[in-house]
């Protein structure tokens, strides 16, 4: 009897195991269709999202292009009005333009043109090294330093001209990228000159 009970228990366990394996295999076969449907839905949703992103990207590119065209038009307009707006704003002034390295050589030449249009009588351009060699300090209305303020302060340029010139300005490289900034700067110089005359 013990042997029969053991066989019965083993048989019942095998039957339940077989039943479990059958259910598992059956559900996985039926589940594949569900998984496939879910994958198709997911792919469809991703395609829709991708198309929407592509449309948004195209709209943004169109907006960027439009803004770039407006910016270019604005820049051309500023180039045309620059001479008209600054003409004769600092008549009779004497300006010393100092720059610290060859990176600012072109910018110094551009500043000289702008100052000439603005009516400056005397424009002197020097490098920091040339300025140090020349011990004689001439009288200027404005000292324009092309570069970082710290550079000129560290080399004693600010102290050397403090109280001798009416105004000391420090113009960075980014300053020359905008005609608007140049116009505003010349108009501020003009205001400073008028204030000193009063």
Alpha carbon 113 to chain centroid distance?
28
Q: Are strands 142-146 and 122-127 parallel, antiparallel or unpaired?
A: unpaired
Token pair 């200027």 is found at 140
Average pLDDT, rounded, for the chain: 81
Report pLDDT digits (tens) over 119-154: 998 988 888 877 765 545 667 888 898 988 888 888
Report pLDDT digits (tens) over 79-121: 898 888 888 888 888 898 988 877 788 888 888 998 998 999 8
Q: Tell which residue, 96, 88, 94, 78, has the closest CA to residue 143.
A: 96
Q: Which CATH superfamily is domain 87-197 in?
A: Response regulator (3.40.50.2300)
**% of the chain exceeding 70 in pLDDT:** 86
Report pLDDT digits (tens) over 22-34: 777 776 666 566 6
pLDDT for 191 equals: 76
Cα–Cα dist 156/65, whole Å: 47
Dump the DSSP string for 130-187: HHHH--PPPP-SEEEEES-HHHHHHTTHHHHHTTTSSEEEEE-GGGGG-HHHHHHHHH
Lookup: tokens for 122? 């005397």
Cα–Cα dist 117/110, whole Å: 11
């Amino acid at each position: 009897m013990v042997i029969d009970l053991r066989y019965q228990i083993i048989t019942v366990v095998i039957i339940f195991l077989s039943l479990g394996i059958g259910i598992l295999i059956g559900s996985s076969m039926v589940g594949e269709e569900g998984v496939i449907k879910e994958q198709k839905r997911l792919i469809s949703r991703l395609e829709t999202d991708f198309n929407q992103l592509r449309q948004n990207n195209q709209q943004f590119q169109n907006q960027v292009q439009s803004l770039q065209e407006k910016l270019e038009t604005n820049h051309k307009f500023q180039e045309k009005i620059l001479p008209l707006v600054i003409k004769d704003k600092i008549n009779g002034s004497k300006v010393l333009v100092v720059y610290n390295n060859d990176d600012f050589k072109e910018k110094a030449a551009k500043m000289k043109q702008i100052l000439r249009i603005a009516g400056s009588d005397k424009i002197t351009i020097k490098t920091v090294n040339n300025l140090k060699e020349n011990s004689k300090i001439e009288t200027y209305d404005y000292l324009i330093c092309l570069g970082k303020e710290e550079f000129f302060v560290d080399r004693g340029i600010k102290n050397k001209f403090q109280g001798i010139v009416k105004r000391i300005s420090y113009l960075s490289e980014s300053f020359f990228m905008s005609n608007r900034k140049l116009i505003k700067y010349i108009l501020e110089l003009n205001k400073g000159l008028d204030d000193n005359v009063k």
